[in-house]
Amino acid sequence: MIVSIISLVVAVAALTSSLYIYIKHDKELKDQAKLINSYQIERNKKEEEESKKAIIEANAKDEGKGVRTIFIYNKGKCLAKNVQVELPENDSMYFLDQFPSMTDIRPQNSITGQIQLLVGHPNSLEIIFKWDDEYKTDNEDHQTIQL
């Protein structure tokens, strides 16, 4: 009789410890799943936000004899609408080819303009971009490029 009681106590203790370990492990797994889900939701929100943004940047290419081609391009994943390019007035630069005003730039595409540099031209040029995209209207950015 005592042997059966001891066997029963050992069996109940083993079952209780197994149940405790299972519940603890299950809670840890659920906590990890919640954390992973929150990271995935945050990542998806950021990706969706990025897919609605246009990123406008510029670059200059030396064409020789004082001529520079200015590339204005859209690095983003969304159409840049109503893009305006503002260049400073300067007596030592002559614009051979003006940028179109209020134009759209598709993702991974660009528009170009050319300038002729004269004696005493600056080494850099600050360009102001204004545009609209799906994420926000009235975006503005400044970039200084080396001539």
Whether the pLDDT of residue 104 is over 90: the answer is yes
Q: Is the full-model pTM beyond 0.85?
A: no
Q: Radius of gyration (Cα) for the chain, nearest Å?
A: 32
**56-146 homologous superfamily:** Gamma-adaptin ear (GAE) domain (2.60.40.1230)
Question: Tell me, what's the pLDDT at 122?
Answer: 83
Query: Span 47-59, mean pLDDT?
Result: 92
Whether the Cβ atoms of residue 62 and residue 96 lie closer than 8 Å to each other: no
Whether the Cβ atoms of residue 116 and residue 93 lie closer than 8 Å to each other: yes
Which of the four pLDDT bands, split at 50, 70 and 90, describes residue 60? very high
Query: Span 79-100, mean pLDDT?
Result: 84
Whether the Cβ atoms of residue 74 and residue 56 lie closer than 8 Å to each other: yes
Whether the pLDDT of residue 117 is over 90: the answer is no
Question: Tell me, what's the pLDDT at 46?
Answer: 92
Whether the Cβ atoms of residue 55 and residue 74 lie closer than 8 Å to each other: yes
User: Domain residue spans in the chain?
Assistant: 1-51, 56-146
